[in-house]
Structure 1
Amino acid sequence: MDLPGAKVGEVCVRFAPEPSGYLHIGHAKAALLNKYFAERYKGRLIVRFDDTNPSKESNEFVENVLKDIETLRVKYDVVTYTSDHFPKLMEMAESLIKQGKAYVDDTPKEQMRSERMDGVESKRRNSTVEENLSLWKEMVNGTKRGTECCVRGKLDMQDPNKSLRDPVYYRCNPDSHHRVGSKYKVYPTYDFACPFVDALEGVTHALRSSEYHDRNAQYYCILQDMGLRRVEIYEFSRLNMVYTVLSKRKLLWFVQNNMVEDWTDARFPTVQGIVRRGLKIEALIQFILEQGASKNLNLMEWDKLWTINKKIVDPVCGRHTAVLKDKRVLFTLTNGPENLARVC
């Protein structure tokens, strides 16, 4: 596996989970691939928490993600948070508004979704810079008027790639953030924050699963509008397992409705769940690296993973035989070890 344009000693990759749940086997693939490339090119690995949605995130998830990373034996150089860069992200959003590359929109959510699908420009798209800055201030202050608005990038509403049809950059959220409390009333979207922070933190190659393929053009377009250096995107296929839910939102439903013990339930596809069930980390690492960074979508069988696990466990696993006391039979062993003549 090679990274395009990578040079030994000059590579920087990042593993950027959202702290809205525990890591599952799909996240493990992303973490281990980042580890592989960082080690291969003698580069740096950043663990960055993409904490841009206070409604879903908590310190519990941060702590357990770090625990899972340690379990996966992923060594990193530094832990950062997108929230570390909130002030600079807000400055960038305001700068884009002043340059006419972004605008504040108060179109209702469902109408906005419909207009994006149909390629219809928002009535607010050509508002003056002064009007946009005034509404942006309302958003930052969390006023009633501000909460009706969002900041959108002014890209291309006619592009066949719908991710380029004026995506949302900033939105209001009144919930308290697990790190910064109620300091902010506005938060950047993942699509806006990710390219900015990647460039700011010195990332050279952003590893992303192929489910984000349609957003690659958006990523590069936003970087260009920001005037930041190019970060190479390297795609790999998302890990899908048969008969397995890998959506954190859906897994959370099981936890909240007491359908399982917690995120560590042995029936869960989380790292802690499958380890609790008896999986050796060596088996998981081998399973992931055998797939490599292929872009081909596939549906993996659990049997393959457990077969690898069996090969690792068998040589070191003790073998014991038990006999029920009321079913025991007296017998004499001949031609056996000298110190074992009778067994009862």
Structure 2
Amino acid sequence: MSTTEEKSLNFIEEIVEEDLRSGKYKTILTRFPPEPNGYLHIGHAKSICLNFGLANKYGGATNLRFDDTNPTTEETEYVESIKADVKWLGFNWAKELYASDYFEQLYNFAVDLIKKGLAYVDDSTSDEIAASKGTPTQPGTPSIYRDRSVEENLQLFAEMRAGKYKDGEKVLRAKVDMASPNMHLRDPIMYRIKHAHHHRTGDKWCIYPLYDFAHGQSDSIEHITHSICTLEFIPHRPLYDWFIEKLDIFPSHQYEFARLNVTYTIVSKRKLLQLVNEKIVDGWDDPRMPTISAMRRRGFTPESLRDFCEKIGVAKRENLIDYSLLEFCVREHLNKIALRRMVVFDPLKVVITNYEVGKVEMLKGENNPEDEDTTYRDIPFSREIYIEREDFMENPPKKYFRLAPGQMVRLKNAYIIKCEEVMKDEQGNITEVHCTYLPESKSGGDHSNIKVKGTLHWVSIPHAINAEVREYDRLFTVENVDEAPGDFKDYINKDSLHVVANAYAEPALQHAKFDERYQFLRKGYFTLDMDTSEEKLVFNRTVTLRDTWAKEKGKA
């Protein structure tokens, strides 16, 4: 029996294979075309994986092209963050390109359409143009400027470029069909006047092409074979094809797939920007955000994101993917690579009364038991240790297997201890627990006659290092935020961040690295945060050890 199952092709792969088989293309060329007006999010991750993945699978290439046709919203900061995200996901582009590279060529395309009588300058206001478009059931009304002569349109368009007119004073429209049932074909605007500084071309241009005019032509200029978009661009495809046909240029073709929608998440740039501007989150890379930079900071791995995109597949119909699947993919990868460490969040002091005062014993702990070639770290053990306060109960119920008076537990990688005495302050609060240890019960030894059901993590008090731990959770409390009534901010999860200001970690974490992942035993998966300084280590929780939300929502 084969160890690898042959996966069925998705519908885009079927198209690509047929195009290559028929000889339509000798090789394929895709593109990832983000607008540099914000940070990429998890939806973009799917598009990146699809475009670059197709090219990798079929021996083609992918261009990274920035759709920078709106100077008022675009910044070099976003360009750099996008490039970093694509590289982090594990992909390399063939060419780094910009729609602004083609401004002169796009202008000449527009002139060509004017000469063919297929474009005209319109002096109408934006409100007048919108009103003249009609409705989906009623045809639009042609502009009074629609029949301007070719000569007049050429002159006016040249004057628009030269900066003779103010913003909004004139636009260039394609002359398509004001009665078309597709509203996008009712003489769409190709160019608008915008006196704004562009992040690459400076003040050279004061007219800028709109998406529908720039996108398909940019694809054609680059000879993109498969232009892959999300489903909301289906109504735009006839216009995409119309421009290419009328200009008689390379026939790039657009294909649409369902965008990625994930539960408990929003991907609207407008709403994400609102969260940032109103300081509901701490920037675009706040680990609760769905941006790629935020997921990277939180400790997600590129392998787990690529696996997630592979598992959800490529569909033609919109659906809502459970966030738990993303967490599953993250856990599955982190379990293989994360270094195991012990960290106590809420400490309770344990004194091992029969352990020699001042003695320090170096015990061995596996760095990762999932690794066949695992290495080991030294863990100091001493008379005084910390355990989690929740791991002790003075009056436990039946089947309580943690530490309690007269009860025994194993300390991970160490010894079995037995609770002998509980110490309290004047108010009756437990201050420390006194225990004895069984010297013959050392981990790794032959102690088959000693049976205990509970194993606790711990940290030696004299050797413990301080750390701040940030426990992140889902940012919203409802599955489908977009369809929830009222303001989306009403559903912010007030418990999405819990900070443990002073956790106690085993000393091996003193040498923690930003590119390493850690499993804090019995706590979850964590990564070092960029807020770490020489004075303090800061860790972010990437994901819990198991799906706690499913249990809370009654799904487990």
TM-score computed with the length of structure 1 as normaliser = 0.94
- Change beyond 3 A, Cα 1:57–1:146: closer
Residue 262 of structure 1 pairs with residue 275 of structure 2: no
Residue 116 of structure 1 pairs with residue 133 of structure 2: yes
Deviation at 1:289, TM superposition (A): 1.4
Deviation at 1:338, TM superposition (A): 7.4
Partner of 1:216: helix, strand, or coil? helix
For residue 323 of structure 2, what is the amino acid of its counterpart? W
Aligned equivalent of 1:6: 19
Deviation at 1:14, TM superposition (A): 0.4
Alignment of 1:62-81 (within 5 A): 62-81=79-98
Deviation at 1:320, TM superposition (A): 2.5
Residue 144 of structure 1 pairs with residue 250 of structure 2: no
Deviation at 1:337, TM superposition (A): 4.5
Post-superposition CA distance 1:106-153 (Å, at most 9, x none) = 111112112113411111111111221222122112223674011111
Deviation at 1:335, TM superposition (A): 4.8
- Change beyond 3 A, Cα 1:83–1:121: same
Alignment of 1:13-92 (within 5 A): 13-92=30-109
Of 207, 212, 223, the match for 1:186:
207
C-alpha RMSD of matched pairs (Å): 2.1
Structure 2: unaligned runs, 5 residues or longer? 1-9, 350-431, 448-457, 461-556
Deviation at 1:45, TM superposition (A): 0.6
Q: Structure 1 residues 29-38 or 315-324, which shifts more?
A: 315-324
Alignment of 1:113-262 (within 5 A): 113-118=130-135, 119-144=140-165, 147-262=168-283
Partner of 1:123: helix, strand, or coil? coil
d(CA) in 1 for partners of 2:343, 2:198: 55
Q: Structure 1 residues 254-263 or 189-198, which shifts more?
A: 254-263
**8 Å Cα contact 2:231/2:257 also seen in 1:** yes
Deviation at 1:3, TM superposition (A): 4.8
Alignment of 1:319-338 (within 5 A): 319-320=341-342, 322=344, 324-325=348-349, 326-327=432-433, 329-337=435-443
d(CA) in 1 for partners of 2:222, 2:46: 22
- Change beyond 3 A, Cα 1:154–1:334: same
For residue 32 of structure 1, what is the amino acid of its counterpart? C
d(CA) in 1 for partners of 2:434, 2:35: 57
Post-superposition CA distance 1:54-86 (Å, at most 9, x none) = 000010000000001111111211100011111
Higher helix proportion (structure 1 or 2)? 1
Deviation at 1:277, TM superposition (A): 1.9
Larger radius of gyration: 2
**8 Å Cα contact 1:24/1:269 also seen in 2:** yes
d(CA) in 1 for partners of 2:106, 2:321: 39
**8 Å Cα contact 2:221/2:250 also seen in 1:** no
**8 Å Cα contact 2:223/2:250 also seen in 1:** no
Partner of 1:148: helix, strand, or coil? coil
- Change beyond 3 A, Cα 1:184–1:233: same
Partner of 1:156: helix, strand, or coil? coil
For residue 320 of structure 1, what is the amino acid of its counterpart? M
Aligned equivalent of 1:93: 110
**8 Å Cα contact 2:31/2:224 also seen in 1:** yes
Post-superposition CA distance 1:291-322 (Å, at most 9, x none) = 22211210112111001211211233315264
d(CA) in 1 for partners of 2:341, 2:166: 70
d(CA) in 2 for partners of 1:137, 1:232: 30
Structure 1: unaligned runs, 5 residues or longer? none
Higher strand proportion (structure 1 or 2)? 2
TM-score computed with the length of structure 2 as normaliser = 0.59
**8 Å Cα contact 1:140/1:146 also seen in 2:** no
Aligned length: 343
